[in-house]
Amino acid sequence: MQGRRKFLKKTVIGAGVALPLAFTENSFGRSSGIKGPKPLVLSTWDHGMAANERAWEVLSSGRSIVDAVEEGVKVTENDLDNLSVGLQGLPDREGITTLDASIMKGDGSCGAVAFVRQVKHPISLARLVMEKTPHVMIVGEGARQFALAEGFPLEEEVLSEKADRAYREWKKTSEYKPVINIENHDTIGMIGMDDQGRMAGSCTTSGLAYKMHGRVGDSPIIGAGLFVDDEVGAATATGLGESIIRISGSFLIVELMRQGRSPQEACEEAVRRLIAKNKDIENIQAGFLALNKDGEFGAYAVHPGFNFARHHPGMKGMVDSGSYFKK
Ligand code: ASP
């Protein structure tokens, strides 16, 4: 996917302050978490910067942390250059773009939608599932109907120019690879905390490119792509959804933190577990991002290339995650 390799470079920016070298990939060591003062917003990948900016604006205007994580990832859902989030994302193998999203608050409230078509902001629909229904997840046609009933406009089903070009290229071989590699995924997961320590998270994606029609990844599954508990912390995931679902990745990380691990240690343990439970690991990329209630955060991935955006008082910028395999 275009733009992915650029993540490897250390794009450390923010308020004129460079991140200390100790935060770069090589020394993002086992027990070295990073701590940020509250409030705090973290998001996966480069597109997390713009999303964090928006989340920050929302928080600064006095709105809640759940408003911030919803509004933040809407920026990515709207980004026409992004081929893995929103309706401009790469389609499934039938040429149809279907979206997955989830949202969760630290008090346990959560909502999700999966396999949704024509809805520009699945994260907002997920929020309404959380707030207006007795359910946690609504999928497919039901989610589309719920969107209509809630007054969401349904978008026309046409691929974006970029997605259409990529899909035509893929069709030449129609090689079906139900694995994700370092190049073809970019979900946004955002986790954050307000100045009172209340947490929330959001996760939204068009999922694995050229997936089977109906395939759902980890992102809308509470405990896999996202988990938040005010008593402990929050975690989100990106990468091959199947590998993350197999280990309930985000829930696992929060539970490890509950048992005393730092966010960094918990992310590393989740990656080791994922490696142990998945075959063909050379072709699987997955990354985790976690935050504990003290404002300490960490990240880790299977392969190099994962990074995340941080935003807290006095600091904003990208951080490269360490990885289990070094090259
Ligand atoms: N986790 C997403 C999925 O499997 C893909 C991604 O991270 O881009 O659907």
Reported as half-sphere exposure (CB side, CA atoms, 13 A), residue 316 has a value of 18
Q: Which residues, 6+ apart, have CB-to-CB distance to 174 below 8 Å?
A: 93
* Nearest CA-CA partner of 324 in 293, 287, 290, 296: 287
32: exposed, middle or buried (C-beta count within 10 Å: 0-12, 13-18, 19+)? middle
pLDDT in tens, 112-156: 999 999 999 999 999 999 999 999 999 999 999 999 999 999 999
In-domain check, residue 19: no
Amino acid in the structure at residue 28 = F
Cα 280 to Cα 224, 260, 277, distances in angstroms: 20, 31, 10
In-domain check, residue 149: yes
Q: What is the mean pLDDT of residues 154-180?
A: 83
* Nearest CA-CA partner of 255 in 265, 244, 266, 264: 266
The minimum-distance atom of ligand 1 relative to the CA of 225 is 1
Q: What is the mean pLDDT of residues 316-321?
A: 95
Q: How many helices (H) and strands (E) does the chain have?
A: 8, 14
Q: Is the CB of 72 under 6 A from ligand 1?
A: no
- Domain range enclosing 83: 46-323
Q: Is residue 23 predicted with pLDDT exceeding 80?
A: no
Residue pair 189/76 in contact (Cβ under 8 Å)? The answer is no
pLDDT in tens, 198-213: 999 999 999 999 999 9
Q: Is residue 17 predicted with pLDDT exceeding 80?
A: no
In-domain check, residue 50: yes
Q: pTM score, two decimals?
A: 0.89
**Ligand 1 centroid – CA 186 distance (Å):** 7
What confidence score (pLDDT) does residue 33 get?
59
* Nearest CA-CA partner of 252 in 230, 226, 276: 226
* Summary mean pLDDT of the chain: 88
In-domain check, residue 240: yes
In-domain check, residue 194: yes
What confidence score (pLDDT) does residue 81 get?
87
Amino acid in the structure at residue 114 = A
* pLDDT band (50, 70, 90) for residue 184: low
In-domain check, residue 309: yes
The minimum-distance atom of ligand 1 relative to the CA of 208 is 9
CATH code of the domain containing 84: 3.60.20.30
| CA angle centred on 137, ends 201 and 225, rounded to 5° | 40
Residue pair 122/102 in contact (Cβ under 8 Å)? The answer is no
Q: What is the mean pLDDT of residues 36-42?
A: 89
Distance between CA atoms of residues 2 and 93, nearest Å: 19
> Which H or E run includes 100?
strand 99-105
Q: 187 catalytic, yes or no?
A: yes
Residue pair 188/70 in contact (Cβ under 8 Å)? The answer is no
Phi, psi of 20 (to 5 degrees): -60, 145
What confidence score (pLDDT) does residue 148 get?
97
Query: In terms of pLDDT, which residue wins out, 20 or 123?
Result: 123
Q: Which residues, 6+ apart, have CB-to-CB distance to 161 below 8 Å?
A: none
276: exposed, middle or buried (C-beta count within 10 Å: 0-12, 13-18, 19+)? exposed
Q: Is the CB of 185 under 6 A from ligand 1?
A: yes
Residue pair 268/300 in contact (Cβ under 8 Å)? The answer is yes
What confidence score (pLDDT) does residue 186 get?
82
Amino acid in the structure at residue 315 = M
In-domain check, residue 8: no
Comparing 144-153, 179-188, 229-238, the range with the smallest average pLDDT is 179-188
Number of compact structural domains in the chain? 1
In-domain check, residue 154: yes
* pLDDT band (50, 70, 90) for residue 316: very high
| CA angle centred on 274, ends 8 and 243, rounded to 5° | 85
Q: What is the mean pLDDT of residues 23-47?
A: 67
Distance between CA atoms of residues 26 and 103, nearest Å: 32
Q: Is the CB of 223 under 6 A from ligand 1?
A: no
Query: In terms of pLDDT, which residue wins out, 103 or 173?
Result: 103
> Which H or E run includes 142?
helix 140-149
**Buried b / exposed e along 86-101 (16+ C-beta atoms within 10 A):** bbbbbbbbebebbbbb
Among candidate residues 44, 98, 187, 205, the one labeled active-site is 187
**Ligand 1 centroid – CA 258 distance (Å):** 26
